[in-house]
């Protein structure tokens, strides 16, 4: 009971920190309009850290939500209903609308429920299809490659395509799609290389 309670509280606290981070990012653009007592600390923070995309404001939320999903799955309580799916579609529609019309920071507030639903669906599908260890290894390898690759696409969007404001839905598609494509190609080439190495060793043996 204590463990369950603590995970729930961690998720709540992490969600609050995440929202604070998004709000700070929004307020950053309006420092001149804020009272000095509020504007100064916010300005000092961004001079030191530049962004709220860090462990302080974002990591706890996603880690604790992942723990919640894992616990629910462990006790066979993880469920996705039709109502959840409808809400998910509506949330995604709002996110896309906000991103296309200059509300990218506001759309980030909807990231937590979006990711929760996506992770829950992935886990349930994997469990239902009884996927084996190789699939999970591939998934982890792909996500790791995407993590390192996507920043190059972010830089490309920020420095070349959308210098004024790269926080938009088009940038998201470029970064997500590009990173996924590169990671899959890299994984495919890596598998071919590993197979060639294995065959070569067998021939020598």
Model confidence pTM above 0.75: no
| 157 within some domain | yes
15 vs 127: which has the higher pLDDT: 15
Convert the pLDDT of each residue in 102-154 to its tens digit.
666 777 778 888 888 887 887 777 776 666 667 767 777 788 888 788 888 87
pLDDT of residue 3: 53
| 97 within some domain | no
pLDDT of residue 2: 45
pLDDT for residue 5 is more than 60: no
Q: Quick one: which H or E segment has residue 127?
A: helix 111-128
Integer Cα distance of 200 and 150 in angstroms:
34
| 204 within some domain | yes
| 57 within some domain | no
pLDDT of residue 102: 64
| 164 within some domain | yes
Convert the pLDDT of each residue in 32-67 to its tens digit.
888 888 888 888 888 888 778 777 787 888 888 888
Helix 82-100 and helix 169-204: axis angle, to 10°?
A: 110
| Domain with 140 in it | 132-205
| 198 within some domain | yes
Question: Tokens for 97?
Answer: 């609308």
Convert the pLDDT of each residue in 184-198 to its tens digit.
888 888 878 877 777
Cα 109 to its chain centre, rounded Å, is 12
Q: Which of the residue ranges 114-118, 161-165, 178-182 has the most confident prediction, judged by mean pLDDT?
A: 178-182
17 vs 165: which has the higher pLDDT: 17
| 45 within some domain | no
| 84 within some domain | no
Name the band, by pLDDT with cuts 50, 70 and 90, for residue 167.
low
* Torsion angle, alpha carbons of 10, 13, 19, 25, to 10: -100
Domain count, the chain: 1
């Amino acid at each position: 009971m204590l463990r369950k309670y603590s995970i729930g509280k961690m998720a709540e606290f992490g969600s609050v920190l995440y929202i604070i981070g998004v709000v700070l990012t929004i307020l950053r653009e309006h420092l001149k309009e804020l009272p000095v007592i509020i504007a100064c600390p916010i300005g000092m923070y961004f001079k030191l850290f530049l962004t709220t995309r860090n462990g302080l404001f974002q990591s706890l939320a996603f880690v604790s939500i992942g723990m919640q999903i894992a616990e629910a799955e462990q006790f066979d309580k993880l469920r996705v209903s039709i109502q959840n799916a409808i809400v998910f579609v509506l949330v995604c529609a709002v996110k896309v609308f906000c991103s296309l019309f200059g509300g990218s920071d506001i759309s980030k507030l909807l990231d937590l429920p979006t990711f929760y639903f996506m992770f829950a669906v992935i886990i349930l599908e994997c469990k239902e299809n009884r996927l084996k260890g190789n699939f999970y290894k591939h998934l982890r390898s792909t996500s790791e490659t995407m993590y390192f690759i996507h920043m190059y696409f972010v830089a490309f969007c920020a420095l070349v395509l959308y210098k004024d404001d790269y926080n938009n839905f088009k940038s998201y598609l470029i970064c997500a799609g590009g990173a996924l494509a590169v990671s899959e190609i890299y994984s495919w080439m890596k598998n071919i290389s590993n197979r060639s190495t294995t065959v070569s060793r067998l021939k020598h043996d």
